Amino acid sequence: MKIHIDIDCFFVSAARILDPSLEHKPVAIGGRSDTKIFNNGAKNQTVNFQNSGNFVPTFYKAYENKDDDIKNFIDADGRIRGILTTSSYEARAYGIKTAMSIREALTLCPELIIKAPNMSLYQELSHKLHNFLNLRVPLIEQASIDEFYGDLSGWVEDEDVPAFIDELRHSIKKELLLPVSIGAAPTRYIAKLATNYAKPFGSQVIDIYNFDALVNPVKVEDFAGIGRSMKRKLHDAKIYTLGEMRLRKGTVCSWSPYAKELYKRINGESDAPINTQAKRKSIGISRTFDPVFDREELLRRVHILARHLSFAIFKLNVIPTVFHLSIAYEMKQKSHINISQAEVFTEKKFDILCKEMFHKADTQRRLRVIRLSISCSSFTKDSKKELSLIGFHEDQEMLTLSNATQQLRQKYGLDILKWGGEL
């Protein structure tokens, strides 16, 4: 059987490890894009590749312990800014949800305790849990910062799985102080569904005896892999639950190969192996900020983002060949550009490329910008693309300089050397 392990309210649970007085209280973790990266005095920027997941960026500012974390979310004008990344079950009882604004959440629950995110702690705890699971389950795959899949086949007999996962969740709570919920089923997709029944801090097995009873009533949008467009299509066909979807095989499977695959997953007919060594296929950095019209200031921010991303690329020791830059404007307008080039990667060339991509992507120049994103993918290690030899010798000289710069930043910090355009 496959198992799915999910840390309950992970960020809140981590905060409670540091401060046990938060137990049984409505607590939420605030999230706000770290725009301090653009300040001349920016310090303590951290890069970490150990874990990944929602709301846990590769780049983040080191946690600063504050007596009153709500101050982290008050801007210069005294306004409370930011959204919630997660909340405790006590807070959810007031109607508080992920991605809700902090201001709205405090309106619903004035006694809500807001804590600032502590990314270093989340990375550390997730890594500890990964190591803990590796000692107890033969195959473990980390799906995100707070999610893991495991394969018990040939290790635990099916009839012993309920007792095994129940003991496992209690062992994790005892050793790591983390509450987890665990679902088990013949496939990883149904195991993830079982975890929803297990929450909070419980365990649930879905097998042939209770499959129909537990799968059929689930809303289609609650099944992993069914997004907004598929949900809309299903609703248009008067399909609202997984049970109704299972009865409409001909309709669903006729839409597309992906819809056919979804049907097989829901029916327990499709599975995927546990991938213990998932390769990183891309890396990116993005920041959301208050609206900015000044294009020179936006170019300065592009320089800063490019420098940070370049540092991470060298740290990963990869050569990307596909580059992407996107811009989000006010009034929900967006623009983006993709460029492919197989050349030696140097910081200077990347900085120039990002500047060029910004000029080409900035198609709404009458609007203010609220978000900049840069990402790189299709690494030569995986794509097996051959590098261009044009300007190869000059690139080698720049690569030597980039490597020297990288060593200085690794020793003294990301901000020890900056481009003139950043100042």
Q: Which two tokens stand for residue 422?
A: 């950043």
Rounded to a whole number of angstroms, the CA Rg of the chain reads: 24
Question: What is the rounded CA–CA span in Å between residue 11 and residue 121?
Answer: 9
Looking at residue 89, its amino acid is Y
Number of H helices and E strands in the chain, helices first, is: 15, 14
pLDDT for residue 281: 82
Residue 398: in which H helix or E strand, if any? helix 392-412
Q: Is the pLDDT of residue 4 over 80?
A: yes
Contact call for residues 209 and 16 (beta carbons, < 8 A): no
Kindly tell me if the per-residue pLDDT of 296 is higher than 80.
yes
CATH topology of domain 123-266: Alpha-Beta Plaits (3.30.70)
Distance of alpha carbon 418 from alpha carbon 43, whole angstroms: 13
3-state SS string for 154-171: CCCCHHHHHHHHHHHHHH
Q: Residue 3: name the closest of 196, 183, 158 by CA.
A: 183
Find all residues with CB under 8 Å of 257, minimum gap 6, and list them. Answer: none
pLDDT range class, residue 362, cuts 50, 70, 90: very high
pLDDT over 70 (residue 340) = yes
Span between the terminal Cα atoms of the chain, in Å: 56
For residue 41, pLDDT beyond 60: no
Give CA–CA dist 187/258, Å, rounded: 18
Biggest distance spanned by C-alpha atoms of the chain: 67
Q: Count the residues in the chain.
A: 423
∠ at Cα 344 (315, 298), nearest 5°?
A: 70
pLDDT at 53: 45
**Res 265: pLDDT:** 97
pLDDT at 164 over 80: yes
Rounded Cα distance, 64 and 32, in Å: 14
pLDDT-derived band of residue 119, with 50, 70 and 90 as boundaries? confident
d(CA 329, CA 368): 6
Give the pLDDT mean for 393-407. Answer: 72
CA–CA dist 33, 288 (Å, integer): 6
Rounded to whole angstroms, the Cα distance separating 341 from 376 reads 11
Q: Lowest-pLDDT range, 28-42, 81-95, 183-197, 220-234?
A: 28-42
Q: Is the pLDDT of residue 397 over 80?
A: no
Across 13-17, 106-110, 312-316, 380-384, least confident range: 380-384
CA distance 258 to 251: 13
- Lowest model confidence (mean pLDDT) among 49-58, 181-190, 263-272, 382-391: 49-58
At 193, which helix (H) or strand (E)? helix 188-198
Structural domain boundaries in the chain? 10-116, 123-266, 282-422
pLDDT reading at 72 higher than 90: no
Handedness of CA 249, 254, 259, 262 (dihedral sign): positive
In DSSP terms, 184 is beta-bridged to 3, 205
Topology of the domain covering 282-422: Dna Ligase; domain 1 (3.30.1490)
H-helix segments, 199-323: 211-215, 228-236, 242-247, 249-253, 257-266, 295-316
Give start and end residues of each alpha helix (H) in 7-118. 10-18, 89-92, 102-108
Coil vs helix vs strand at 366: coil
The CATH number fitting domain 10-116, selected from 3.30.565.10, 3.30.70.20, 3.40.1170.60, 3.40.50.1110? 3.40.1170.60
pTM of the model: 0.78
Q: What is the mean pLDDT of the chain?
A: 87
Mean of pLDDT values over 138-165: 94
For residue 167, pLDDT beyond 60: yes
The model's confidence at residue 54, banded by pLDDT at 50, 70 and 90, is: very low
Residue 50 has what pLDDT? 58
**Residue 122 in contact with residue 141, Cβ under 8 Å?**
no
- With bands split at pLDDT 50, 70 and 90, how would you rate the model's confidence at 95? very high
